[in-house]
Amino acid sequence: MESGKEAAANAGASARAGMEKTRAAVQGQVDKAAAYTTGHREAAVVNKEAAEVKKQQRIYAAEEEKQRAVRDNAAAKERASGAETEDRHGSHGEE
């Protein structure tokens, strides 16, 4: 049962990360397009590069958040599994 919960939580984390990555990509395209409206070629190049860096940072942050969630989900599964094992075996020596 716990592995199903972990799988569902991991799928949710992956979906959230995918949505954030898509948002970052779209916003990056918008920022790049907006870079050319300044009228200055040099400024446009700098703004385009800045937009790309910002997009990559958002994508990296989304992936890091997903990996953190996967680690947290695995730890929660281990804690639940350990508590369940303790409940089953912890009362054997008691009277």
pLDDT tens digits along 47-58: 888 889 999 999
> For 11-66, how does the pLDDT look when each residue is reduced to its tens digit (9 = 90+)?
999 999 999 999 999 998 888 888 777 667 888 888 888 889 999 999 999 999 99
- Residue with token string 């040099």: 42
What is the distance between the alpha carbons of residues 24 and 16, in angstroms, rounded to a whole number?
12
Rounded CA-CA distance 20/5 in Å is 23
Taken in order 8, 12, 17, 18, the sign of the CA dihedral is: positive
